[in-house]
Amino acid sequence: MKNIEGHFGSGVSAYFKFLRWLFLSYCIVAVLCFGFIALPQLLLNKHQGGFKPTTMFKFLDIFTGEGYLATTVLFYGGYSNETISIIPKNTYNLPMGYFLTMICVYLITFIIMSVSMARSYRRTFIEASGITSTYADKIFCAWDFGISNEKMARLAHKSLFNEIREMLNELEMPEIEQTFLQKFWSIALKTSSHFLVLFMLAGLGVGMWTMLKYFGDIEDVTRSFSYLYLPIATNCIMLVMQMVFGYIAKMEGYKSPRTKVHVNLMRNFLLEVVIIGVLLGFWISDTKSQCWETAIGQEIYRLVIVDFVISVCGVTIYQITKSLLSRSFTFIGAPEFDISQASLSLVFNQTLFFIGLLYSPILPVIVIVKMILMFYILKAILIKYCKPPAKLWKSTQTHTLYLVMSFLSLLGVLVANGYIMTQVKVSQTCGPFRNFNFMYEIITLTIAKLTKDHIFWRFVVAIIRPAFIGCILLGMCVIVYYLRSKSRARIGMVKLLKEMLYMEARDKEFLLGHIMKLAQKSDGHTE
């Protein structure tokens, strides 16, 4: 990270930090899903004589998810609805474990993302809002005197140099006075560009729905390659639309590169929302197949694999080719790292990850491997073939914007999956919920079967008593009062410390003035 930040600034390093943060969160999800869903099913398969595939393995199955992989634990249809007893006198209900693990994973991820977003927002917009001595801090206090390695010293020097450049670029330049017509033209151009983007996204949604119907009517589904039509078309559409949005942003003529990047990020995020929304809506409306959950899992699996091939490998080949050509033909120019395109790929993969998690519990492992490859491939291409951006800009708000987009995408996925769990009937021929009409019935019917003396009902009766509720409300009031008093005390302390600093500065000024007068008098006496 220090190497990237030292050569390309904090704007590019923010992307890799966000990638690393997503990787760590996905590792937690992968451990939970494998430990409580996949591992019990693998033990059951081993106990029943091992997994028996219905077809032979083909190399193309890696890209399509069909054939050999269709009936494995990779997808929803490979899980049983039985209650296993691997350890004597201990049972494990696979459907209950599947459902509760998914609920816990989504809940934990939602809490982690909410806390991270709130913390980043507080650090970026609240705590840093009143800081006015940033330049002095960077110049006099930013160097780490504990560095003893020459290589680390060079990286720290470059990083500090780029940070100062970013701050200088963020200084407000004197605005050139514009005439009324120039202001009107600028506002009209940006407004029309925003409406143009919205119309393009609406047309894209209609076109995507038509394309999905066309691919669904194709009769040539016996060939495995036909399953890749949709993911290839989807990723190509995303690349083309990103290029179009980039040209529109250039036409708008934003003065600040950070504003331009943020506008592109928001437009690409809307592009991702439209594409994912249309795909998910079409899949939910077509749940008449025998095992539609596995079909959705396979579609998402193909999108993840093809996205890696096109967005990572394809873009990498393009950047290497452009960099090599720029050495012979100077008018081409070396490539720059496209933050908006790379960020869209991350958010797109994250949305696919949380949607497909319900239908493919092993998907986190695949996404983790993909992100490891993405990190090292993009890092190598960035350092060897990309040139630093012409204008550096501070990325303090960019990381917060990444988290906001991730939070919104996760929130949309939670709403969609909540609708699927409660309103869409499950398949009766496959999966752990084949004995139920809806997924959530595994909880309601299980609770209904419990006796009155069960610990669950005792707990429910205890927490709904007025005395318990009153204690909870009283405790919450005390906590709120304490936090509010603490906040007021800190505000008062900050004001007091500011006054003390001001008085100390006045005292120093007075003493320095008095010393200067005494020095002048002593010089006069000596003369």
> Which amino acid does the sequence have at 42?
L
Range of the domain at 229: 1-448
| Overall number of domains in the chain | 2
Would you say residue 43 has pLDDT above 80? Answer: yes
Same-domain pairing of 374 and 349 = yes
Q: What is the mean pLDDT of residues 166-193?
A: 71
Same-domain pairing of 382 and 504 = no
Nearest residue to 440 via CA among 424, 421, 420: 421
Give the pLDDT confidence score for residue 222 in this predicted structure: 45
Of the residues 448, 474, 500, which one is the last residue of a structural domain?
Answer: 448
Q: Give 253-282 pLDDT, tens digit per residue.
A: 777 667 777 788 888 888 888 999 998 888
Could you tell me what percent of the chain has a pLDDT over 70?
77
Q: What is the mean pLDDT of residues 364-380?
A: 88
Give the pLDDT confidence score for residue 219 in this predicted structure: 46
> Which amino acid does the sequence have at 451?
T
Token pair for residue 362? 């092993």
Same-domain pairing of 53 and 185 = yes
Give the pLDDT confidence score for residue 71 in this predicted structure: 82
Same-domain pairing of 378 and 437 = yes
Would you say residue 47 has pLDDT above 70? Answer: yes
Q: What is the mean pLDDT of residues 393-402?
A: 67
CB atoms within 10 A of CB 82: 16
pTM score of the predicted model: 0.78
Same-domain pairing of 427 and 495 = no
Confidence of residue 388 (pLDDT cuts 50, 70, 90): low
Q: Which of 47-61, 182-196, 229-243 has the lowest mean pLDDT?
A: 47-61
Q: What is the mean pLDDT of residues 20-35?
A: 89
Q: Which residue has the tokens 């997994």?
A: 51
Q: Which of 16-20, 65-69, 192-196 has the highest mean pLDDT?
A: 192-196
Q: What is the mean pLDDT of residues 234-242?
A: 86
Same-domain pairing of 474 and 444 = no
Task: Please check whether residue 299 is in contact with residue 49, taking contact to mean a CB–CB distance below 8 angstroms.
Answer: no
Token pair for residue 519? 């020095």
- Print burial letters for 356-381: b (CB count within 10 Å at least 16), e (below 16): bbbbbbbbbbbbbebbeebeeebeeb
Give the pLDDT confidence score for residue 152 in this predicted structure: 64
Nearest residue to 354 via CA among 41, 30, 5: 30
Q: What is the mean pLDDT of residues 177-202?
A: 82
Position 525 in a domain? no
Q: Which of 66-75, 137-146, 200-209, 335-344 has the lowest mean pLDDT?
A: 137-146
> Which amino acid does the sequence have at 391?
K
Q: Give 312-340 pLDDT, tens digit per residue.
A: 787 788 778 877 887 777 767 777 777 77
